[in-house]
Amino acid sequence: MTRQKTILVTGGAGFLGSFLCESLVADGHSVICLDNFHTGAREKIAHLMDEENFELVWHDVTVPVHADVDEIYNLACPASPVHYQSDPVKTVKTNVMGALNALELARHTQAKVFQASTSEIYGDPAVHPQDETYWGNVNSIGPRSCYDEGKRCAETLFYDYHRQYGLEIRVARIFNTYGPRMNADDGRVVSNFVLQALKNEPVTLYGNGMQTRSFCYVDDLIRGIRALMDHEPGVLHPVNLGNPVEFTMRGLADLVLELTGSRSELVFRPLPQDDPRQRRPDITRATEALGWQPEVPLRRGLEKVIDYFDGVLSRRPARVEVPAALTARPPLAVRRRANGGAAVGPLAL
């Protein structure tokens, strides 16, 4: 039987974080979900709020948090260009200071700590497909650099803490992931295409539409994250998690139009600066070390996303507004309750 753990998930009310919290709660772990609701939303984790082993903490990861935990999953950071480029300085701070605070908490509690890194580590790759030994081709001063270099710095910190303090770390480089609970306004290609098609609006392609991506359904990705975290004695090196089946943007658009029965036309716009031409993971390490590979084909996953966004368009749920004062709140102390929950209060400095 799996030992019940107390687990902190930063960015837990986001797209990936909400599914991770759901999976951990279902397995009986006591989960502390940390989020400042910059891109996360309470409705993504609303179904967990009545669970005795789930606690929501409104907090920004750039401020330290103290908690009695066994494991930490650091997922906090806007992941779509629209959001991370809207406040690039904040994006860098979230990546770097958020990683530092997660690592310091892990150092003081001897918790195992996971970093949600990204395929953006590889930039516009000159090697295809990308395996974990590739160092990347990243513009350090471009509009995407706040995210790309922020994640690269976070990886550096994780490995320096491992070498210097002996921390038990896990690092996953996550490739394009899609599924229900994606934000409608995040500008990612799957949500863009599906929403435009459902509204019979022009479907926007950039460049000639021949650039490629690989799409991993969220359920598969969460399985991979948990397999990496639970693996003993552990995989020290970064691990690519993604679907190795490659699609052109034009092919994806055509499939979305077919599945929605949309009357939308395709329109073409100039390719954004530093937009990668190809992106496909080599998942040999994940397959051999973890026994993991994705199972959900794109067509089936898209059908679920289309159903989800069709529901979103019909009901248009309100987003939670975050008071500005809460983005600069003091450090929090989270203490385990006797019943496995979490008690939250200001940290005495």
Active site residue 147: yes
Q: Which of 73, 84, 147, 217 is catalytic?
A: 147
For residues 36 and 77, what is the distance between their CA atoms, to the nearest angstrom?
10
* pLDDT of res. 339: 40
132-181: pLDDT as tens digits? 999 999 999 999 999 999 999 999 999 999 999 999 999 999 999 999 99
- Other Cβ atoms within 10 Å of 324 Cβ, number: 7
For the chain, give every domain's residue range: 6-182+215-245+281-296+317-346
252-277: pLDDT as tens digits? 999 999 999 999 999 999 988 878 88
Contact 38, 78 (CB under 8 A): yes
Residue 146: Cβ-neighbour burial (10 angstroms; 0-12, 13-18, 19+): buried
For residues 130 and 2, what is the distance between their CA atoms, to the nearest angstrom?
34
Does residue 248 sit in helix, strand or coil?
strand
Beta bridge partners of residue 212, listed in sequence order: 248
Confidence band of 316 (pLDDT split at 50, 70, 90): low
* pLDDT of res. 1: 52
Contact 193, 256 (CB under 8 A): yes
* pLDDT of res. 135: 96
For residues 122 and 238, what is the distance between their CA atoms, to the nearest angstrom?
12
* pLDDT of res. 24: 98
Contact 153, 171 (CB under 8 A): no
For residues 144 and 163, what is the distance between their CA atoms, to the nearest angstrom?
29
Q: Which of 190, 185, 153 is nearest to 171 (CA)?
A: 153
For residues 145 and 161, what is the distance between their CA atoms, to the nearest angstrom?
23
For residues 238 and 117, what is the distance between their CA atoms, to the nearest angstrom?
9
Q: CA quadruple 133, 138, 140, 146: dihedral positive or negative? A: negative
41-92: pLDDT as tens digits? 999 999 999 999 999 999 999 999 999 999 999 999 988 788 888 899 999 9
Mean pLDDT (whole number) for 215-221: 98
In the numeric block, the tokens 């929403």 are attached to: 195
Residue 50: Cβ-neighbour burial (10 angstroms; 0-12, 13-18, 19+): exposed
Strand-strand pairing, 6-10 and 30-35: parallel
Contact 93, 153 (CB under 8 A): no
CATH number among 3.40.50.970, 3.40.50.410, 3.40.50.300, 3.40.50.720, domain 6-182+215-245+281-296+317-346: 3.40.50.720
